[in-house]
Chains A and B, each alone.
Chain A
Amino acid sequence: MSTWANLGLQDSASPLMEQLIFFHDHAFMLFFNNYVNRFLLHGQRLLYLLDEINEPSVTLKSIGHQWYWSYEYSDFNNIEFDSYMIPTNELSTDGFRLLDVDNRIVLPMNSQIRILVTAADVIHSWTVPALGVKVDGTPGRLNQTNFFINRPGLFYGQCSEICGANHSFMPIVIESVPVNYFIKWISSNNSSLDDWKQVLVS
């Protein structure tokens, strides 16, 4: 997530985002040194990389509503839950204002993840900057993308398409955990993990 005095991109948690950051830094360096042709090639390589076909092991469905996200894991136990922002007055002392949610998306790290995004009412956009993902959720349409998380932790994002009064108050939080913890979570059908540290301990 953005920390104080963050001006640039967040550190990547995905190999594709890492490449995007390299391209960004490279292009700026070349831009200021007036070499145009080289970064066109780099950009094209990245464009193809982003469209690579891979076999995802987990599929997540994300539905945007006014003004919360709901998620479905249909591969396994048909887990479904809603994810609302925690209001500022109910936040814990170390809670992040406008970012923390009641139910986080739990995903396994080092696995290809497919996400299908749609919306129930107006257009929303599902974004996680650290993973380099931004997918619009349009009513009546399924948009698909893949991503890969290469480190554990919490990754925050916010709705990126104006969707009404509380557009700024429907964040996304991914909790990336090792595969065995994910399997444990799925099998216990727990839709809410309160503290990320607990996962490590157990």
Chain B
Amino acid sequence: MSALRLIPRGNAGGNLSQMMGLSQMGRRLASGGDGIRLMVGEREVVGYGINGRPIYFDSQDCPFPAIRYREVTPELCAIREKELGDWKKLSLDDKKRLYRHSFCQTFVEFQHFTPEWKICLGVALWLVALGLSISMVLKTKMYGQLPDTFDEDRRSAQLRRMIQLQMNPITGISSKWCYEENKWKSQLH
């Protein structure tokens, strides 16, 4: 019970703004703004959380959020009284209710994979298809023909000439040709 503390309205973040010597505007901003106060509502602040702000989120990195998930209700108060006694007397249902009061999801639940990957994959494949279609259109309609020198017979003639001229004989193409056997070195046994 001593751990419970409600955020007093209108003075949230007061200490921080005094320390920084801020104006009234600054104090309002430092309090986290009206948005955060509205989000907190009547929920209890139980710790520092990840950055001191009274925001609830489930995360493996910060397993203890700054505030409880739900607001205090009369049913909860009854279970809290029971919690003060012997925990062995708590039923499984009680334990679950206590957990669900403080937390939104269990570790297993929030770490579970989501169906998001299907959307991601779908969009990615659509983009790939779009790219491929554009390149196909460019290739068939827009680009001209390759020069004649790209024909197979011309290319093999050029290759034969490169080998005869011993071009790049150290680590390049001619180094891969065996001049004694008149074939590629990789074809030798």
Residues of chain A touching chain B, judged by Cβ–Cβ distance below 8 Å, are 1, 3, 6, 10-12, 88, 91, 93-97, 151, 153-154, 196-197
Report the tally of A-B residue pairs with Cβ distances under 8 A: 45
Residues B168 and A11 in contact, CB atoms below 8 Å apart: yes
- Enumerate the 8 nearest inter-chain pairs by beta-carbon distance, A residue then B residue, closest first: A94-B157, A94-B161, A11-B170, A97-B149, A11-B168, A93-B157, A3-B173, A11-B172
Residues of chain B touching chain A, judged by Cβ–Cβ distance below 8 Å, are 147-149, 153-154, 157-158, 160-162, 164-173
A91 and B165 in contact (CB under 8 A), knowing A10-B172, A11-B171?
no
Residues A3 and B165 in contact, CB atoms below 8 Å apart: no
From B147, B158, B160, B166, give the contact of A153 (CB < 8 A): B166
A-B contact pairs, 26 of them (CB 8 A): A1-B167, A1-B168, A3-B162, A3-B172, A3-B173, A6-B168, A6-B172, A10-B168, A10-B172, A11-B169, A11-B171, A88-B148, A88-B149, A91-B149, A93-B154, A93-B157, A94-B158, A94-B160, A94-B161, A96-B158, A96-B161, A97-B149, A153-B165, A153-B167, A154-B167, A197-B164
Residues of A within 8 A of B162 (CB): 1, 3
B163 to chain A: closest residue by CB: A3
Provide the main secondary structure of the chain B interface: helix
B158 to chain A: closest residue by CB: A94
Bound-state CA distance A88–B149 (Å) is 8
CB distance from A143 to the nearest CB of B (A): 28
Residues of A within 8 A of B149 (CB): 88, 91, 95, 97
Residues of A within 8 A of B167 (CB): 1, 3, 11, 153-154
Residues of A within 8 A of B165 (CB): 153-154, 196
Residues B153 and A93 in contact, CB atoms below 8 Å apart: yes
Apart from A3-B168, A3-B172, A11-B168, what 18 extra A-B contacts exist at CB < 8 Å?
Answer: A3-B162, A3-B167, A6-B168, A6-B172, A10-B172, A11-B170, A11-B172, A88-B147, A88-B148, A88-B149, A93-B154, A94-B157, A94-B161, A97-B147, A153-B166, A153-B167, A154-B165, A154-B167
